Amino acid sequence: MDDEVRVIFSWNLEGKNQLGKEAQIVVDANQAPVKKGKGRKALKPKNSSNEANIIAGNAASSPLVPSGDILKHQETISFPLVQSLREKENEKKKKANPENKKPSTAYILWCKDQWNEVKKENPEADFKEISNILGAKWKTLKKRENEAMKLFEEEQKQKTAMELLEQYLQFKQEVDKENMDKENKKKKEKDPLKPKQPLSAFFLYSKERRATLLEENKNVLEIAKIAGEEWKNLTEKQRKPYEKIAKKQKEEYLQEMEVYKQKKAEEAASRQQEEEELMKIQKLEAMQLLKRKEKTDNILKKTKEQCQKKKKEEQNVDPNKPKRPASSYILFRQERPGINNSTLSALISVKWKELNEADKKIWNDKAAEAMEAYKKELEEYNKSAVAPSQ
């Protein structure tokens, strides 16, 4: 059909590969030519066609409803062009504000350094095997090398902390500057210390004539008009006194402006110096916080190592070695079984303090006896341990 435009809509029923009946729109191209900028109204035919199931004019006001077995269909419209533009914008933002990566650990830094060397030695090894080899090597590293890598890791941490601080300070400065610009736009307050512009010779004359003209009941417009006409008619000799005063006032104004500008420049320099000093203080505080954190981490690490060492020593203790006896307080505590530790500790502490010296002596004597027995057993154990070695 050369002089007709046919538009076919097809629906897919609930994910099944079945095509519904076709809803066809037939528009007579000769009767309704498409005009630029008219939109859907340009497609509306003058006369209704028997071939059309849905008229183009109704399509603007109501959704297309297929006849027969076709279910209602809601189309989700997406605009790929808009999406791609948004993606590009997001990429630009990511490039403009790159996120700071977390500093690598000593082990990761060492692996990066040793990877190529291990790969050359084991060309057929895959990623997992190389990782295992590096892990084994790391365990057998000398103490000095390990410490050197840890120092390098600390330097990386400090570097990252300083970079983050500098970024924050820069961001803060930009925000402060933006806020200041906004405030300046909203409020254009005049500096009261700034020297006022001097009056010209004409305005000095107008000011002088103003009082006389006001007495004659002249309004502002009339005063300005009369003064202007009078000034035009004045001779050079008559104008000279006003011009002399105006010149003198201008010279004074220029001198005052020089002093004012110099003062403002000094204030700006002082303010900048204060900001730089504040930035230095903030950097020092950041470094102190970082060192404090590292110190805390080291304390926790040492405590953990001590616990592990103690646990290891306990595991390696000779089972034949005599055990140290409990103190009088512990013996007294053992007489109260069946209570949880926190409650028991609180109760025992109170009860122990309430005991008189005679009652405490009973438990002290028991503890002393146990200690004497322990010392004898320990002496015998030490003798037996020394004898085989000799």
CATH number for the domain spanning 140: value is: 1.10.30.10
Report how far apart the first and last C-alpha atoms of the chain are (Å, whole number): 118
Task: Please tell me the total count of domains within the chain.
Answer: 4
Domain endpoint, select from 77, 92, 116: 77
* 32 Cβ neighbours under 8 A, 6+ residues apart: 42, 43, 44, 45, 46
| 320 pLDDT more than 60 | yes
What mean pLDDT comes out for the span 316-322?
A: 64
What mean pLDDT comes out for the span 15-26?
A: 40
CA dihedral 360, 363, 367, 372 (to 10 degrees): 90
d(CA 61, CA 9): 18
What mean pLDDT comes out for the span 27-44?
A: 43
Domain endpoint, select from 13, 43, 77: 77
Among 2-6, 223-227, 329-333, 337-341, top mean pLDDT goes to 223-227
Both 60 and 90 in one domain: the answer is no
pLDDT of residue 139: 76
Both 93 and 175 in one domain: the answer is yes
d(CA 254, CA 198): 10
Do 256 and 210 touch, CB atoms closer than 8 A? no
- The H or E element that residue 273 is part of is helix 236-315
Residue 273 corresponds to which tokens in the numbers above?
């110096």
Enclosing domain of residue 348? 328-383
For residue 152, tell me if it sits in a domain.
yes
For residue 323, tell me if it sits in a domain.
no
| 33 pLDDT more than 60 | no
pLDDT of residue 254: 92
Both 216 and 285 in one domain: the answer is yes
| 60 pLDDT more than 50 | no
User: How many other C-beta atoms lie within 10 A of the C-beta of residue 158?
Assistant: 16
Both 369 and 277 in one domain: the answer is no
Report the amino acid identity of residue 169. L
- The H or E element that residue 5 is part of is strand 4-9
What mean pLDDT comes out for the span 369-383?
A: 82
pLDDT band at 327 (very low <50, low <70, confident <90, very high): low
Residue bearing the bigger pLDDT, 333 or 241: 241
Could you read off the pLDDT of 99-146 as tens digits, one per residue? Answer: 555 667 777 887 888 888 888 888 888 888 888 888 888 777 755 566
| 52 pLDDT more than 60 | no
Average pLDDT, the chain: 71
How far is the CA of 124 from the CAs of 115, 119, 128, 131, in angstroms? Answer: 14, 8, 12, 13
| 361 pLDDT more than 80 | yes
Both 298 and 365 in one domain: the answer is no
What mean pLDDT comes out for the span 315-330?
A: 66
d(CA 321, CA 382): 9
Could you read off the pLDDT of 216-274 as tens digits, one per residue? Answer: 888 888 888 888 888 888 888 888 998 999 999 899 999 999 998 898 888 888 888 88
Q: Reduce the DSSP state of residue 9 to 3 states and report it.
A: strand
What mean pLDDT comes out for the span 341-359?
A: 74
Both 178 and 225 in one domain: the answer is no
Q: Which long-range contacts (CB under 8 A, 24 or more apart) does 73-77 make?
A: 73/11
pLDDT band at 84 (very low <50, low <70, confident <90, very high): low
Nearest CA to 59 out of 23, 21, 13, 20 is that of: 23
pLDDT of residue 333: 60
Residue bearing the bigger pLDDT, 173 or 257: 257
**Angle subtended at Cα 229 by Cα 223 and Cα 235, rounded to the nearest 5 degrees:** 125
| 354 pLDDT more than 50 | yes
d(CA 45, CA 61): 16
d(CA 269, CA 17): 76
Lowest-pLDDT range of 71-75, 92-96, 213-217? 71-75
What φ, ψ does residue 166 adopt, rounded to 5°?
A: -60, -40
Both 173 and 88 in one domain: the answer is yes
Do 245 and 204 touch, CB atoms closer than 8 A? yes
| 7 pLDDT more than 60 | no
Residue corresponding to tokens 């303010």:
271
d(CA 7, CA 46): 18
Both 4 and 106 in one domain: the answer is no
Percent of the chain with pLDDT strictly greater than 90: 2
| 192 pLDDT more than 70 | yes
Domain endpoint, select from 47, 77, 107: 77
Residue 118 corresponds to which tokens in the numbers above?
């291990």
* pTM of this structure: 0.29
What mean pLDDT comes out for the span 56-69?
A: 44
pLDDT of residue 31: 42
What mean pLDDT comes out for the span 292-297?
A: 84
How far is the CA of 187 from the CAs of 81, 179, 191, 192, in angstroms? Answer: 42, 12, 12, 14
Both 71 and 159 in one domain: the answer is no
